């Protein structure tokens, strides 16, 4: 059974940093591209960052480029999102996601992802 469990969220002030983790099990993590998405109240879930299966390529939404860094540790089956210089508009639930198939092209479309974590809340006060 595939499981994705996010952690590391919290309440911080603007300009602070947080590091999110996504612990995975039930599938061969090292062969899957992985993404982070976020969803604010009343808004659609949106792409944040993606990393390929080997960790050699990363992709970011324009809104987080230069502030967030996605990474992975395939030996630990864990995905990370380092978030620096947080802004109030970063407030959202953050979700890690695995696509339906291993390898394959990178995607930022919600519909291409088969497995999701329960999310971790990030709240940034001004």
User: What are the DSSP calls for 70-110, one per residue?
Assistant: EEEETTTTEEEEEE-S--GGG-EEEEEEEESSSB------G
Q: What is the three-class DSSP state of 35?
A: strand
CA-angle at 12, arms to 6 and 13, nearest 5°: 150
Residue 106: per-residue pLDDT = 87
Whether the pLDDT of residue 103 is over 90: the answer is no
Residue 35 sits at φ, ψ, to 5 deg, of: -130, 155
Q: What is the three-class DSSP state of 60?
A: strand
Helices and strands in the chain: count of H runs, count of E runs? 0, 11
Q: What's the chain's average pLDDT? A: 96
Residue 19: per-residue pLDDT = 98
Whether the pLDDT of residue 104 is over 90: the answer is no
């Amino acid at each position: 059974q595939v499981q994705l469990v996010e952690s590391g969220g919290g309440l911080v002030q603007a300009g602070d940093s947080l590091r999110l983790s996504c612990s995975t099990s039930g599938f061969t993590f090292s062969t899957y591209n992985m993404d982070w998405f976020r969803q604010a109240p009343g808004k659609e879930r949106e792409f944040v960052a993606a990393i390929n299966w080997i960790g050699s390529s990363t992709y970011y939404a324009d809104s987080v480029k230069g502030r967030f860094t996605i990474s992975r540790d395939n030996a630990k089956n864990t995905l990370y999102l380092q978030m620096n210089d947080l802004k109030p508009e970063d407030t959202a639930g953050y979700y890690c996601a695995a696509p339906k198939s291993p390898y394959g092209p990178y995607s930022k479309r919600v519909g291409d992802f088969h497995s999701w974590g329960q999310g971790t809340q990030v709240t940034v006060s001004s």
